[in-house]
Chains A and B, each alone.
Chain A
Amino acid sequence: MKRAIQVHEKDNVATAPKQIRASESVRILTPEGKTLQIMRPNEDVPAGHKLALVKCRKGTRIVKYGQTIGIAVCAVEPGDWVHTHNVRSGRMSVSGKGGK
């Protein structure tokens, strides 16, 4: 089964080392290899990318490494691919013009 790592217990996303197809189940693991849950992504998740573990309303902090990595710009469902289309930086936009 494909794997995705939830780095910290507070995280609401997990990172997939290899691409996961929407049709495949994925095992969510701690960095030490302990299984936390098994879920099915709602869409393909490319290698190195993240999927949501829980429902995140618009404006929710996205947490990885136990730290905020960005803000959801729309509602995100569990199993959704999480990336630049639904999350923005809390500090600066990719354009450098500064997120808030």
Chain B
Amino acid sequence: MTETFLGYPRADGSVGTRNHLLIIAPIDCSYEPARQIARQVDGAVAVTQHHGCDVNEMVINALAGAGRNPNIAGVLLFGLGCESLTNDILADRLASSGKPVASLVIQKEGGTIRAMEKGIRILQQMAQEASSLKKEPFPLSKLVLAVECGGSDGTSGLAANPAVGGAADRLIDAGGTVIFSETLEMVGTQDILAERAVNKQVDEDIRRIIGQEEQRGRNADPDVRFISKGNMDGGLTTVEEKSLGAVCKGGSRAIQGVLRNDWDHFDVPAGPGLWIQDGTGWDVPSITHMAAAGAQIACFTSGRGSTTGHAIVPVIKITGNSETYRNLADNIDINAGTVLDGEESLNRVSERIFEAILQTASGTQTKAEALGFKDFVVFSRMDQYLRHG
């Protein structure tokens, strides 16, 4: 039997698991009115970035990628007017998606009230048009899954991450695509990951990005950002231990390539299979940048517990810690702690996660979605800022 999910067909041939409308404030100066517009229109969500007028590919592509994401039915660009990252720059990057894109500039419209009125009218029409779209069954070759971990503890590498890895393997075997990121949490796993590279170039790319991240770590000011207090309280002793547990979430299949995600380049997967994005270990921006690369759904493992949802993609949360599951039952979708309690095999939990991916892709809400959580943060590397600045 060929497995399918129900999704929304888009003009560029991609498939949405959701049918959101996106308001992009290209700078946070216009974010508050953008947010107020979103409140007025059904299915609309507003996003922005917090790096001011420092325009670079990382910031531009995070926002443009959010707009291009298949889960978005239509986009309203809502600028202030004097920013470096203009609506026009984003409109250019969105054009080939073929989706409706409107543009408004507060300084041209004569203030927020006029701009907001126009914006609401434009989005009202987009909402009605988007609602007429019917969901259709699609093969899993149309699905791109982002896998993320945060608030890791000693159970993460034993239960939740390998369980998600099993589901990732299954999706890839069915023709799908998986992206994992968080380069810092690969430090110490260079050899294991590079061994799975499809060719020598990818092998070198994997070693290069992890080596760079390790160097950034060594150069940084003394603090505990590489392995958090929460990680240590949860039983993780070193960054190597954290990494070895973390990379399990990407499963075991061949690594097709490294997706650059920096001030000069931004790559999207060139085909199905497993991809590494060179990205931050911070949860919300990590999911944001994988969504910008085209992921329409995410699995997020957490030992300590997380509440994260996302503006663009549904986020299925999984813990390997049964106590965390009981404590945060409002927020965690799947308990993989049953593996450590001796109640369920790892394969069985992977199966449950795979089923949840198909269900969620087809429209079933995650706990975070039902609670209306719409996290979105754009990340930009500070060391690149220093180099360019």
Binding site for B on A (CB under 8 A): 3, 5, 7, 15-18, 31, 33, 46-50, 62, 64-65, 67-70, 82-84, 87-92, 94-98
Give complex CA distance A50, B159 in Å. 15
Q: Which residues of A contact B239 (CB under 8 A)?
A: 89, 91-92, 94
Q: Which residue of B155, B234, B238, B340 is within 8 Å of A69 (Cβ)?
A: B238
Are B157 and A83 within 8 A (Cβ)? no
Are A97 and B235 within 8 A (Cβ)? no
Are A82 and B217 within 8 A (Cβ)? no
Q: Chain A: interface secondary structure?
A: loop
| B294 on the A face (CB < 8 A) | no
Are B238 and A48 within 8 A (Cβ)? no
Are B240 and A83 within 8 A (Cβ)? no
Are A15 and B244 within 8 A (Cβ)? no
Are A67 and B240 within 8 A (Cβ)? yes
Interface size range of chain B in the complex: 35 or more
Q: Which residue of B214, B221, B233, B235 is within 8 Å of A50 (Cβ)?
A: B235
* Interface set, chain B 326-355, CB cutoff 8 A to A: 337, 340-342, 346
Closest to A69 in B: B241
Are A50 and B226 within 8 A (Cβ)? no
Q: Chain B: interface secondary structure?
A: loop
Are A65 and B245 within 8 A (Cβ)? yes
Q: Which residues of A contact B342 (CB under 8 A)?
A: 3, 33
Are B240 and A48 within 8 A (Cβ)? no
Are A48 and B235 within 8 A (Cβ)? yes
Q: Which residues of B contact A69 (CB under 8 A)?
A: 188, 237-238, 240-241, 244
Are B154 and A96 within 8 A (Cβ)? no
Are B237 and A17 within 8 A (Cβ)? no
Are B192 and A67 within 8 A (Cβ)? yes
> In whole Å, how far is B346's beta carbon from the nearest beta carbon of chain A?
7
Q: Which residues of B contact A91 (CB under 8 A)?
A: 187-188, 214, 238-240
> In whole Å, how far is B215's beta carbon from the nearest beta carbon of chain A?
9
> In whole Å, how far is B166's beta carbon from the nearest beta carbon of chain A?
12
25 contacts between A and B (CB under 8 A): A15-B235, A16-B235, A17-B155, A17-B158, A17-B341, A18-B323, A31-B158, A47-B153, A47-B323, A65-B157, A67-B240, A68-B188, A69-B244, A70-B237, A84-B237, A89-B237, A89-B239, A91-B188, A91-B238, A92-B187, A92-B217, A95-B223, A96-B225, A96-B226, A98-B218
Are B223 and A47 within 8 A (Cβ)? no
Give complex CA distance A83, B235 in Å. 7
* Interface set, chain B 260-281, CB cutoff 8 A to A: none
| B41 on the A face (CB < 8 A) | no
Give complex CA distance A5, B225 in Å. 28
Closest to B220 in A: A96
Q: Which residues of B contact A49 (CB under 8 A)?
A: 154, 235
Q: Which residues of A contact B321 (CB under 8 A)?
A: 17, 47-48
Q: Which residues of A contact B158 (CB under 8 A)?
A: 5, 7, 15, 17, 31
| B303 on the A face (CB < 8 A) | yes
Are A96 and B218 within 8 A (Cβ)? yes
| B227 on the A face (CB < 8 A) | yes
Closest to B323 in A: A47
Q: Which residues of A contact B241 (CB under 8 A)?
A: 64, 69-70
